[in-house]
Structure 1
Amino acid sequence: MLDREIARSVFVTGLKNAHAMENQALSIMQPQVNRLTHYPDLSQRLQSHIAETETQISRLSQVLESLRESNSSMKDTLLSAMGSMAAMGHAVAGDEVLKNSFANLAFENFEIGAYISLITAARASGDSHAVALLEQSLDEERRMAEWVAAHIPSVTETFISLKGTGESAKV
Structure 2
Amino acid sequence: MTDAARDIFITGLHNTHALELQALQIMGRQVERLENYPELEQILRRHIQETEGQRQRLEEVMGRLSESPSAVKEAVQGFVGNVAAIAHSVASDEIIKNMLANHAFENYEIAAYKSLMVMGEMAGFSNLTGFKQSLDEEVAMARQVGDLVEPITRKFIEIGARGESAKI
2:107 corresponds in structure 1 to: 109
In the TM superposition, 1:65-84 aligns within 5 A as 65-84=63-82
In 2, Cα distance between the equivalents of 1:89 and 1:75? Answer: 21
In the TM superposition, 1:13-52 aligns within 5 A as 13-52=11-50
In 1, Cα distance between the equivalents of 2:104 and 2:46? Answer: 18
2:158 paired residue among 158, 161, 166: 161
Aligned-CA RMSD value: 0.9
The residue type equivalent to 2:120 in the other structure is A
Deviation at 1:5, TM superposition (A): 2.5
Instruction: Provide structure 1 residue ranges, at least 5 long, that are not aligned to the other structure.
Output: none
Matched residue of 1:10: which SS? helix
In 1, Cα distance between the equivalents of 2:134 and 2:164? Answer: 38
Mapped pair 1:134 → 2:139: no
In 2, Cα distance between the equivalents of 1:37 and 1:164? Answer: 17
Mapped pair 1:9 → 2:13: no
Deviation at 1:125, TM superposition (A): 1.1
User: TM-score normalized by structure 1?
Assistant: 0.96
Q: Give the count of matched residue pairs.
A: 168
Deviations 1:13-55 (A, max 9, x none): 0000001000000111101011110100100000000000111
1:55 corresponds in structure 2 to: 53
In 1, Cα distance between the equivalents of 2:163 and 2:5? Answer: 56
